[in-house]
Structure 1
Amino acid sequence: MNTSKVFAHLQLTRPANVVTAIADIIAGFAIAGMGVYLTSFSNESGHLIDLAWLVLSTIGLYAGGVAFNDVFDADIDAVERPERPIPSGRASIRSASTMAFLLLVLGVLAAAMVSMTSAIIAFAVALCAVLYDYWGKHQHFFGPINMGLCRTGNLLLGVSVVPELISEYAFIGLIPLVFVAAITMISRGEVHGKNRKALFGGLLMYITIVAGILLLAYSFGGKLIEVIPFVVLFVYMVFPPLVKAIQKQDPKLIGKAVKAAVISLIIVNASLSAAFAGWLYGLMVLILLPISLWLARKFAVT
């Protein structure tokens, strides 16, 4: 396989987005009360090794899931986005499918190295991803929820480092679910525009996310002050491009709003991390933001 084809297959995995998935795992690790091991770089009880396995798992799950998205969209992309790897001929459907499948298998096997609970969650995320790629994204109501469930599962995959805490903190998965559902709704206007209702709906859901994060910070550990700077950054990142998209209804502006929101998943995770493990841990998660932004200049986000 030549360099061009390798790059094309790497494009299929959306590297900038994969970094946001890693942030999900690190945030889940904090929610499980394991943040101290990362901030002190202590591998006592092997928790940092577990974190590494879960990071590898989410890389496989996310990269495999988005690669399958291009496989199932090959015919549509041939018309609307012919520059993408498959319709441009730089990657074949067969090679892309094989890579995507192997990545999903890697995701499940890596999670199994932590616990059976982690493996089950990883398998569920893989199923949700393929379901969305093949069917969910064509459903007006269930599609955004389907996509949100992938992120919810990913956050809980991080929490699964302590399996018995899954049931206690499962409700926190509503935050990525609502946020990703909002992004998915908004993204439907990237090609043709004119989706004002979806944009307004996304705006209301973003406001709900901000309120939910602040409530969590106040309720768990009293770290509201530590979380506020992260929330302010989130508002700065996602609200201005979305307001411009609402005003102009232009597909390019909608695309920018979607891109900003996808990258801001890292800020959501940094906020959740700060709420449970303090500002320093949140800052460690936020370090992933410039990495994702750099990759977003090299590879497509949507």
Structure 2
Amino acid sequence: MNTSRLFAYLQLTRPANVVTALADIWAGFAIAGAWTYIIIDWGSGSNEFLINLAWLSLSTIGLYAGGVAFNDVFDAELDAVERPERPIPSGRVTKSNAAWMSFLLLVLGIIAAAQVNLTSAIIALAVAALAVIYDYWGKHQNLLGPINMGLCRTGNLLLGISVIPSTLSTFWPLGFIPLVFVAAITMISRGEVHGKNRNALYGGLAMYVLVILAIASMPILHYTPLWEVLPFLALLSYMIFPPLIKAIRSQNPKLIGKSVKAAVISLIIVNASIAAAFAGWKIGIIVLLLLPISLWLAKKFAVT
């Protein structure tokens, strides 16, 4: 396979977005307390948790890449009109090859999760199903579409927590945070092509504020000093609010697209904030290290 063809296949997987999915897993590890074994209590089962981190990271790569690639498969006819430069309508990747790649990536995600435990495998299967449902049906639904997309991220965070299955019964409600944040992004993104969706933009703004307030309350509940989380929330606010406010004022599709791109990349900061709230600022920084990688990839590959 030559370089240009390989680049076309990589375009289908949205590499910058895949890195944001890794942040879900790493934040899930912080919630479950697994980073303690890896970083602090080295030698007390750390090897096993490190291996599980690798398996679940591979799982989310497969699930996310497969899910977004299937999106282009189902949107091939629409993209031929609205985004003819994309890999399938441009003829650089055939629709059948893209479908096979998407399917195999989802299978990889499920198999990788199964190497950790049965709970992880079941969650991965659910995420794969939710992704395909969104690609085929959910994105066309005004209300259920954003919820469907948000549930994919919820499942991804729970996939990270599932490294210690017993913790899921306590921490599953935290899945509402990525659900609300991603539902907001999905709602806002509907103006990317035609603009004129001010109500959706205001709704997204309100949902972003709700997420920030929810994360800010975590240190109180988990006895982490608030100062360890506030810098991450400040960075998150800096990333998402200025481009969204510009989009609200202008209703310009290009500015809406920039707002969506900033929010997608900012999923890493959301996860870093959660990790800091549960495991301290050092673990938050570890998750945040994914941000420059995602930003670099975002210059090479489309995010939306």
Q: Shorter-chain TM-score category?
A: over 0.9
Partner of 1:262: 264
Q: 1:91 aligns to what SS in structure 2?
A: coil
> Is residue 123–residue 159 contact of structure 2 (8 Å, CA) maintained in 1?
yes
Q: 1:208 aligns to what SS in structure 2?
A: helix
Instruction: Work out whether 1:180 is the aligned partner of 2:182.
Output: yes
Q: Deviation at 1:6?
A: 1.2
Of 94, 108, 111, 2:110 maps to 108
Structure 2 distance, partners of 1:81, 1:36, is 46
Partner of 1:236: 238
Q: 1:236 aligns to what SS in structure 2?
A: helix
> Is residue 224–residue 280 contact of structure 2 (8 Å, CA) maintained in 1?
no
Partner of 1:227: 229
Unaligned runs of 5+ in 2: none
Matched residue type, 2:295: L
Structure 2 distance, partners of 1:240, 1:51, is 34
Q: Deviation at 1:40?
A: 4.3
Runs of 4+ in 1 over 6 A off after TM superposition: none
Partner of 1:169: 171
Q: TM-score by structure 1 length?
A: 0.98
Structure 2 distance, partners of 1:222, 1:189, is 39
Partner of 2:204: 202
Instruction: Work out whether 1:122 is the aligned partner of 2:131.
Output: no
Q: TM-score by structure 2 length?
A: 0.98
Q: Deviation at 1:2?
A: 2.4
Instruction: Work out whether 1:93 is the aligned partner of 2:95.
Output: yes
Structure 2 distance, partners of 1:294, 1:51, is 23
> Is residue 191–residue 197 contact of structure 2 (8 Å, CA) maintained in 1?
yes
| 1:34-81 CA distance string (max 9 Å, x none) | 122343493642111111100000000000000000000000000000
Partner of 2:33: 33
Change (3 A) 1:75 1:34: same
> Is residue 54–residue 111 contact of structure 1 (8 Å, CA) maintained in 2?
yes
Structure 2 distance, partners of 1:43, 1:137, is 46
| Count of residues paired in the alignment | 302
Partner of 1:14: 14
> Is residue 43–residue 49 contact of structure 1 (8 Å, CA) maintained in 2?
no
Seq. identity, %:
70
Change (3 A) 1:62 1:43: farther
Question: What is the RMSD of the two structures over their aligned residues, measured on CA atoms?
Answer: 1.0
| 1:234-270 CA distance string (max 9 Å, x none) | 0000000000000000000000000000000000000
Q: Deviation at 1:217?
A: 2.0
Structure 1 distance, partners of 2:38, 2:241, is 31
Matched residue type, 1:24: D
Structure 1 distance, partners of 2:15, 2:41, is 26
Matched residue type, 2:262: A
Q: 2:229 aligns to what SS in structure 1?
A: helix
Unaligned runs of 5+ in 1: none
Of 47, 51, 54, 2:53 maps to 51
